[in-house]
Amino acid sequence: MPDRTLQWAHIAKLPIMAKSALNCSPGYLDPMFAIPRLPVRDQASLLPLLYRLLESPEGMHPGDGEIAEADYILKTYPVLQSIDTLLTKSLIPESCMVDLWPRIWKRMCAHQTMEDGDWADVAASKRQTLSSLTATDVRKVVLSVLRRLCVSDRWLSGASSELPAPFGIVHKTPGLFRHLVHLWRGAVFDPSRALPYTADLGLLLCSILISNHAAPHVQDEIFDACGGTSLDYAMFVVRHIRTARREKEWHKSAMLPWTVQSLTALLEITVAYSDVLIEILFDIGLAAELVKLSLCLDRLGKASPPVANGVGVMLTLQGPIFTLLSCAKPNPSWVRQALRAGLLPAIAKTNLDILASPGSTSMNADTLFPNQMKLLSDVLSGQLTSYSVLSQLERALAVLEETQLKFPIGPLITPWSRMLPLLKARLALKNDFDSCGRVGIVTCDGPQCRQESSKREFKRCSHCRQAFYCDELCQKTDWKLGTHKLFCGKLGLTPPPAFLAFLAHTDAKRLPCPDPLATFTAMDYTHGAVDLRIRSLSELALFLPEHESKYYQTCVKVGAGTKQLRLAMEAGNYMLINGGRITDTR
């Protein structure tokens, strides 16, 4: 019998589908549930019919007319199981699967129940034939369909108890699930394969994570399907946090819980991954996206009464947001981006939301407050050596004053009261640096020259930009003797930041080295305020990575033998200074 002439009646007559063997109740669904139990070769021969069943299942039982959403899932689940088996055994070509998914999407669109007047234009397309549905029609409806599939039990209401819970459909068909991710990844990373529902596929995968949060292998499959690399998975996370935040339907309170659930699951899973992944995430802009998402939730809570009454729902999402922000390895780059996006207002507003909802949000408070405290006391305080971070904090303080949001409320009063004086002191130092940086008195680095003048009148080494000379003769002499030649290339790779040198020079005056030839000052800015200690020169290697110890030790010996060492180098958060004098190298 040719495959294309197969009809429902022929399947129903197959011996393997006897009702007694299947123990199913009478009805036209019985043969559908028997399809996955057919031998694989028989299932492959039914492939054209399986496609038609996905596209029009009610046509297999004349007289039904339009079927409900739950009935559609109920009818097509066995077909999905069968296709999953064939896909796993590589019996379905890639080209066929690319053709299959638009059919499934359009079928879901055709049976989407419209509940909102805003969907009137899409509702009209429901009465059109599937072939006349445009990509725009599909795009508008699919997102709503997928949301409903994630959160609504009515998709399977009245179904057999043997059927899976929502999204068990995908969970129990791993072949289809892997192909979903493969299709999404191909569309995202290869523009030529872009589909009208690419964004929906990504949101669908986020939603799968919700229902399978207790199944680590599902999370691993998404990671593997994204290419098995931290960067691809990081792109997946950041891209779809951004997509969800920008979704226009967020103002509809009915849609908010789904988005909150989806992103919460995604962030919680991300926290569980390695520190390497989190570092990559922050390198590609996750911190700023998290802050913007937090502020977006705050605006939603004030714009819609139903959402405002359920502020605890949004605070559930704030938990993993601040967990990620507090557990990432601090560096000036992402801290600056987060501050520019509104990190301080986000912390303050979330703090006020918790205090305004006592009792119902105690669990959220237990998670949020410690992470917010860590952000203030460790992450931000430890970055107050960065000129760019201080610049952003200066602007953020102005925003806080304009909005009359103050941190000395509730549990955050302690870390904020400790950080604020230090911040003001560093901002004052920054202002001094800005004013004196225009003049900048430097000393010539020539071996026998001690001339001092404005750095504008001196010339810098064009390679490392750290050495100053009053004339060409001093520069050539220094190079011939090997004093500068020894470490010029090294300085070019890791130039000491000018403001950091200015800060260290200011702090070093409080504890001058008693013997510049045998000691150095170790300055630790890890926790914000400087920790100054006098160390023996022999201990210098303990403060530096092994591959750099020899260079720095040699550099110190050479410098100490000729003059007070003009060096402020950064190793982690340690500033190493010998001699107490640092030339401004801005």
Handedness of CA 12, 14, 20, 21 (dihedral sign): negative
Handedness of CA 502, 507, 511, 517 (dihedral sign): negative
* 248 within some domain: no
Amino acid found at 110: A
Amino acid found at 4: R
Enter the tokens of residue 335: 């801290």
Q: Write down the pLDDT at residue 28.
A: 40
For residue 462, what is the DSSP state?
T
- Cα dihedral 55, 61, 67, 72, rounded to 10, equals -50
DSSP line for 6-70: --HHHHHT-GGG-HHHHT--SSTTHHHHHGGGS-HHHHHHTHHHHHHHHH-GGGGSTT--S--HH
For residue 469, what is the DSSP state?
E
In contact, 540 and 553? CB cutoff 8 Å:
yes
Q: Write down the pLDDT at residue 370.
A: 85
* 10 within some domain: yes
DSSP line for 549-578: HHHHHHHHHHHHHHSS----EEETTEEEES
Last residue of a domain, one of 143, 176, 198: 198
In contact, 174 and 221? CB cutoff 8 Å:
yes
**Residue-number span of the structural domain to which 108 is assigned:** 1-198
Amino acid found at 235: M
Exposure string (b/e) for 504-522, b if CB count within 10 Å is 16 or more?
bbebbeeeebeebeebbbb
* 244 within some domain: no
Q: Write down the pLDDT at residue 405.
A: 74
Q: Write down the pLDDT at residue 349.
A: 82
Q: Write down the pLDDT at residue 330.
A: 78
Enter the tokens of residue 265: 């699951």
Last residue of a domain, one of 172, 198, 224: 198
In contact, 101 and 138? CB cutoff 8 Å:
no
Task: Work out how many domains the chain is built from and give that number.
Answer: 2
* 335 within some domain: no
* 192 within some domain: yes
Enter the tokens of residue 368: 């949020």
For residue 556, count other CB atoms closer than 10 A to its CB: 20
Distance of alpha carbon 78 from alpha carbon 58, whole angstroms = 14
Q: How far is CA 120 from CA 117, 125, 292, in A?
A: 5, 9, 31
* 149 within some domain: yes
User: Rounded to the nearest 5°, which phi and psi values hold at 523?
Assistant: -120, 120
Distance of alpha carbon 260 from alpha carbon 473, whole angstroms = 67
Distance of alpha carbon 443 from alpha carbon 450, whole angstroms = 6
Distance of alpha carbon 169 from alpha carbon 74, whole angstroms = 10
For residue 320, count other CB atoms closer than 10 A to its CB: 21
Last residue of a domain, one of 177, 198, 219: 198
Nearest to 356 by CA among 311, 401, 403, 305: 311
Distance of alpha carbon 163 from alpha carbon 81, whole angstroms = 12
* 158 within some domain: yes
Q: Write down the pLDDT at residue 47.
A: 66
- H-helix or E-strand spanning residue 218: helix 216-225
Exposure string (b/e) for 565-582, b if CB count within 10 Å is 16 or more?
bbbbbbeeeebbbbbbbb
* 236 within some domain: no
Burial class (CB in 10 A: 0-12, 13-18, 19+), 291: buried
Enter the tokens of residue 555: 């550099």
In contact, 339 and 283? CB cutoff 8 Å:
no
Q: Write down the pLDDT at residue 59.
A: 44
Residues of the chain with pLDDT under 50: 1-30, 58-70, 108-170, 188-189, 209-216, 226-228, 249, 251, 253-255, 304-311, 360-363, 491-496, 546-575, 577-586
